[in-house]
Chain A
Amino acid sequence: MTTDLVTFDHVTKTYSGITALDSVGFSIAAGEAVCLAGENGSGKSTLIKILAGVEQPDRGVISIAGQPQDALNPRLSAAAGIKVIFQDFSLFPNLSVAENIAFSAELGHGTRLVHRARIADTARATLARIGVDIPLTAAVETLSVAHKQLVAICRALATEARLIIMDEPTTALTEREVRVLLDIIRRLKADGVAVLFVSHKLAEVLEVCEKVIVLRNGQKVAEGPAADFDAASLTRHMTGRDVAEAPPAPLRADAPELMRVEGLNKAGAFEDVSFTLHAGEVLGVSGLLGSGRTALAKALFGLVAPERGRITLDGRSVPLGDPLAAAGAGIGYVPEDRLTEGLFLTQSILQNISVGRLDAHGASGILDIGGLLAEARDWLKRLSVKAPDPDAPVRSLSGGNQQRVVLARWMARSPRVLVLNGPSVGVDVGSKAEIHGIIAGLSAQGLGVIVISDDLPEVLATCHRILVMKAGRLIEDIPSGQVSGTDLAHRLAS
């Protein structure tokens, strides 16, 4: 066991009573690639934070190169060669490739002056090490997502990396880019660098991994050689059950057209987007991160102003780029990032639901507070939100219940069309199924629902029809019964 680079021994971490990691133990050897799989909320990010020294475990021992670390901090962790590449890469967009790569290394030299030549040398040498050619002087913001990721990898390598942790490394990559990444990982492993992939979609990196660890609800539920796992078994371990959700009830053939989008165009985000949505239809829009799916979702609700195109609802034109007009016309939007965009975290649960109904209950100027809150309470019950105290701040709820609060806010307005961007991101498995049930209920009531998601099983389980989005364009329109999950994944990433 002397070659183990990092060992976790019965590591436990709790946040205000909630156990994020429960006595987790594993080890990573030098030159080994390990998959850490788990759903959102399974404890993956806590584990990364502990490794990076940002959080301290409550119990358990972490050893680096055989040395138990009793007070790991970010500086010690980095000095020990543990580098985390976050999903957003944490690069400096306005600086050049070379500056980004050499930044940490230069800080390590402790110099106060900028040594341009040394920066260029460091960058060139590091890029050569992974066999990639990116112009050194290009500003990082002009690079593609895949190239940014490579720059982030190089920055980690420029400072004696021994373990590179990659958070959700493949979410934004096309299949070809994933292949390039895997080749680089192989080179790193040959150099003795260990890699820890952390993701909820790991099937594609399994082939370069030696070992797989699966977390669920803070506990290690599976560990073994990568050869013993495949996509299906990973999912089973992550969710604790076979997720084979039934496809949605078929759409009535005579369902009338509800919404029509024609030639919607927003430079740099999406191009010439047209589709129709029928009453009672659940329409999926799926694409990789950066495909323009979120910009499109926002444009439907007026949060992004397209320069061309038309949205009509029930034959009436909806003004573009005006969320108030969109909401007035009967379009609702449940945003991707619940915590920053969806919720008023410090305000009460009831207030978070009733905020959408202020005008309806305050027509005379004086708010009918009784009626407003009674309605909000009723919605808590209808969506079975588990809220012991409806007057408590909404941040006290779990992810799944928070998401239902945002849904309730919009459902209370009796919308015609609901745009759900990532409806079950960051909610537990049980809540996810319930949210899918809510979507089916909306469809049965004749609402049009647009589900924007890159969670393919979710799209297949909820949608009647799937629009595939790539580089800002809708490239395919597939009835969901005619496509399998793996097939859809290929179409997204090819």
Chain B
Amino acid sequence: MKFLHSTEGRLAVIAAVVFLAMSALAPDRFLSVQNMTSMAFQFPEFAILALAMTVTMLTGGIDLSVVGIANLSAIIAATILTQVTGGGAGIVLIAFTAAIGVGVAAGLMNGILVANLGLPPILATLGSGLIFTGIAIALTGGSAVMGFPDATAWIGNSTVLGIPTPLILFGLLALGLSLLLTRTGFGVKLRMYGANPLAARFAAINIDATLIKVYVLSGALAAIAGMVVMSRANSAKADYGSSYLLLAVLIAVLGGVNPYGGYGKVIGVVLAVLTMQFLSSGLNMVGVSNFARELIWGSLLILVMIVNTWRASGRRT
């Protein structure tokens, strides 16, 4: 009973309701094995971006550069994959490692901007995101990089024991992040910082180091999302996934992460991801245009924030 009254409990109910509604609207197509599999391949890439967003939002910050980081990492990896021939699976490993290195470096830059130079996260990452996208365009001239070894497709398109690999990857990352947030000093510190940055300073929490780790983690997660996108698209391009930024923010907020910091659970984000995927696939099946999608996501984001703010102020009085 207590679970149903929590943010996550409500979300579980919403996810179930959306699932049932979509099943009712298009029973033969929505409930098909084919649709289920297709959904399981689709959502991990933006779900991982939502995890990255969650980490920064817990500190009361935000990372608007996640899509930029994902694309830049993918382009670096793609360049390695296309330039070096005949390496087989080894070269894929090197390329992925390089991509994550790019994500870490980009995150480090964001972290320094926010922690050491004290820029507001929303502006720092808006700017750095443009820089990352700009570098990606400069490297590629704006066109797609393609022609990878076959092994590249494994991370995005294969299955392990019948379960899509990207889904497994997302599951592992979500579990890892959940443990990191609840079972380590770092996780507690970043949440406490989000709850009250000033008190964190007065409590002698190492704020700068914590924030830098947060943005590095976000950058690394974004790079992993970039690898999934690259593998599934079998190419890398500077402007892939441009609608994912809003989606990642929406999922985090819908998942109960407080945009002012201090509260949020990974399970909530996972439930929000599922809700969004059910909604997205279902809308697709009942024939809602792709162009209406952003309108719907934007409205949903505002609506969720209004409800959350209204609930929070209701609790205060």
Residue of A nearest to B261 (CB): A346
B204, A323: Cβ atoms closer than 8 Å: yes
Shortest C-beta distance, A287 to chain B (Å), equals 21
Residue A347 lies at the interface, judged by CB distance under 8 Å to chain B: yes
Q: Which residues on A sit within 8 Å (CB–CB) of B184?
A: 362, 365-367
Cβ of B189 within 8 Å of any chain A Cβ, yes or no, is yes
- Contact status A344-B204, CB under 8 Å: no
Which residue of the partner chain, among B201, B206, B262, B263, contacts A303 with CB atoms under 8 Å? B201
Chain A positions 354 through 366: 1 when the CB is less than 8 Å from some CB of chain B, otherwise 0: 0110110110011
Are A303 and B202 within 8 A (Cβ)? yes
Q: Mark A336-374, 1 if CB is under 8 A from B, else 0.
A: 000011111111000100011011011001110100000
| A contact residues around B204 at 8 Å (CB) | 323-324, 326-328, 356
**A345 to B316 Cα, complex, angstroms:** 12
What are the residues of chain A within 8 A of B196 when measuring CB–CB?
340, 343-345
Q: State the CA gap A16–B200 with chains docked (Å).
A: 28
| Bound: A340/B262 CA distance, A | 14
A335–B202 touching, CB < 8 Å:
yes
Once bound together, how far apart are the Cα atoms of A341 and B199, in whole Å? 4
Which residues of chain A are near B202, meaning CB under 8 Å? 303, 323, 333, 335, 341-342
Asked if A404 is an interface residue, CB under 8 A from chain B, the answer is no
Query: Is B198 an interface position by the 8 A CB rule?
Result: yes
> How far is A340 from B196 in the complex, measured between Cα atoms in Å?
8
Q: Which residues of B contact A342 (CB under 8 A)?
A: 199, 202
> Is there contact, CB below 8 Å, between A341 and B198?
yes
Query: Is the pair B205, A340 in contact by a Cβ cutoff of 8 Å?
Result: no
Tier of interface size on chain B: 20 to 34
Q: B200 to chain A: which residues have CB within 8 Å? A: 344
Of residues 285 to 312 in A, which have CB atoms within 8 Å of B's CB atoms? 303
Chain A residues with CB under 8 A of B189? 355, 358
Q: Which residues of B contact A148 (CB under 8 A)?
A: none
B192 engages A323 (CB within 8 Å): no
Taking CB atoms, residues of chain A closer than 8 Å to B233 are: none
A333 to chain B, nearest CB (A): 6
Residues of B near A347 (CB, < 8 A) are 191-192, 195, 262
Q: Is A200 an interface residue (CB 8 A)?
A: no
Does A278 make an interface contact (CB < 8 A)? no
Is A83 on the interface with B (CB-CB < 8 A)? no
Q: Whose C-beta in chain B lies nearest to the C-beta of A354?
A: B188
Q: Does B183 contact A (CB under 8 A)?
A: yes
Are B203 and A356 in contact, with the CB atoms below 8 A? yes
- Minimum CB–CB distance from B276 to chain A (whole Å) comes to 27
Q: Smallest Cβ distance from B56 to chain A, in angstroms?
A: 18
When distances are taken between beta carbons in the complex, the residues of chain B under 8 Å from A351 are: 188, 192
Q: In the complex, what distance in Å separates the CA atom of A356 from the CA atom of B189?
A: 10
Q: Which residues B191-225 have CB closer than 8 A to chain A? A: 191-192, 195-196, 198-206
CA distance A390 to B205 in the complex (A): 22
Mask: chain A, 211-240; 1 = CB below 8 Å from B; 0 = not: 000000000000000000000000000000
Q: Which residues of A contact B199 (CB under 8 A)?
A: 340-344
Cβ contact of A355, chosen from B188, B206, B263, cutoff 8 A = B188
CB of B162 within 8 Å of the partner chain: no
**Complexed CA–CA distance, A365 and B185 (Å):** 7
Interface string of B174-190 (1 = CB under 8 A from A): 00000000011101110
Do A358 and B195 touch across chains, with their CB atoms under 8 A apart? Answer: no
Contact B192 A344 (CB under 8 A): yes
**Min CB–CB distance B180 → chain A (angstroms):** 10
List residues of chain B with CB within 8 A of the CB of A323. 201-202, 204
Q: What are the residues of chain B within 8 A of A326 when measuring CB–CB?
A: 204
Residues of B within 8 A of A333 (CB): 202
Query: Of A16, A324, A362, A367, which is within 8 A of B206 by CB?
Result: A324
Bound-state CA distance A326–B183 (Å) is 27
- Tell me whether A162 is interfacial, beta carbon within 8 Å: no
Q: Is A409 an interface residue (CB 8 A)?
A: yes
Given A333-B202, A340-B199, A409-B203: A362 touches B192 (CB 8 Å cut-off): no
CB pair B262 A346 closer than 8 Å: yes
Whether A346 touches B185, Cβ cut-off 8 Å, given contacts A333-B202, A341-B202, A355-B203, is: no
Could you say which of A16, A328, A343, A359 contacts B185, with CB atoms under 8 Å apart?
A359
Alpha-carbon gap, A234 to B57, bound state (A): 50
Q: A409: which B residues are within 8 A, CB to CB? A: 203
What chain B residues lie within 8 Å of A358 (beta carbons)? 185, 188-189
CB distance from A350 to the nearest CB of B (A): 11
CB-based nearest A residue for B191: A347
Given known pairs A344-B262, A347-B195, the reply for A367 and B183 (CB within 8 Å) is: yes
Q: Output the least CB separation between B224 and chain A (Å).
A: 21
Given contacts A341-B198, A344-B195, A347-B192, contact A362 B185 (CB under 8 A): yes
| Docked pose: A369 CA to B179 CA in angstroms | 12
**CB proximity of B257 to chain A, nearest CB, Å:** 13
Q: How far, in angstroms, from A345 to B206 measured CA to CA in the complex?
A: 20
By a CB distance below 8 angstroms, the chain B residues around A356 are 203-204
- Residue of A340, A345, A369 near B183 (CB, 8 A) is A369
C-alpha gap A335/B191 in the complex (Å): 21
Q: Give the CA-CA distance A369 to B205 in the complex, in Å.
A: 18
B260 to chain A minimum Cβ distance, whole angstroms, is 10
CB of B225, distance to nearest CB on chain A (Å): 25
User: A365's closest neighbor in chain B, by CB?
Assistant: B184
B188/A367 in contact, CB under 8 A? yes
In angstroms, Cα B316 to Cα A16, docked, is 9
**Assembled-state Cα–Cα distance A327/B204 (Å):** 6
Set of chain A residues within 8 Å of B262, measured between Cβ atoms: 344, 346-347
**Interface mask (B224-235 → A, CB under 8 Å = 1, otherwise 0):** 000000000000
Pick the residue among A16, A324, A340, A346 that contacts B198 (CB under 8 A): A340
Considering residues B191, B202, B204, B205, which has the most beta carbons from chain A within 10 angstroms of its beta carbon?
Answer: B204
B100 to chain A, nearest CB (A): 20
Cα separation A361 to B184 with both chains bound (whole Å): 9
Judge whether B198 and A366 touch: CB under 8 Å: no
A385-425 vs B, CB cutoff 8 Å, 1 = contact: the mask equals 00000000000000000000000010000000000000000
Nearest B residue to A345 via CB reads B196
One digit per residue, 1 when the CB lies within 8 angstroms of any chain B CB and 0 when it does not, for chain A 195-213 equals 0000000000000000000
Give the residue name and chain of the A residue nearest to B184 (CB).
Answer: A367
Q: Give the distance to chain B from A343, nearest Cβ to Cβ, in Å.
A: 6
In the assembly, what is the distance between CA of A409 and CA of B200, in Å?
Answer: 12
Q: How far is the CA of A451 from the CA of B10 in the complex (A)?
A: 48
| B308 smallest CB distance to A (angstroms) | 14
By a CB distance below 8 angstroms, the chain B residues around A327 are 204
Chain A 442-479 per-residue mask, 1 if CB under 8 angstroms from chain B, else 0: 00000000000000000000000000000000000000
For the complex formed, measure the closest distance between the CB of B112 and the CB atoms of chain A, giving whole angstroms: 18
- Nearest A residue to B179, CB-CB: A366
12 contacts between A and B (CB under 8 A): A16-B317, A328-B204, A340-B196, A344-B192, A344-B195, A347-B262, A351-B188, A355-B203, A356-B203, A358-B189, A359-B185, A367-B183
Q: Give chain B's interface residues, CB within 8 Å of chain A.
A: 183-185, 187-189, 191-192, 195-196, 198-206, 262-263, 317
Residue ranges of A at the interface with B (Cβ–Cβ < 8 Å): 16, 303, 323-324, 326-328, 333, 335, 340-347, 351, 355-356, 358-359, 361-362, 365-367, 369, 409
**The 4 nearest A-B residue pairs measured at CB:** A327-B204, A362-B185, A358-B185, A344-B195
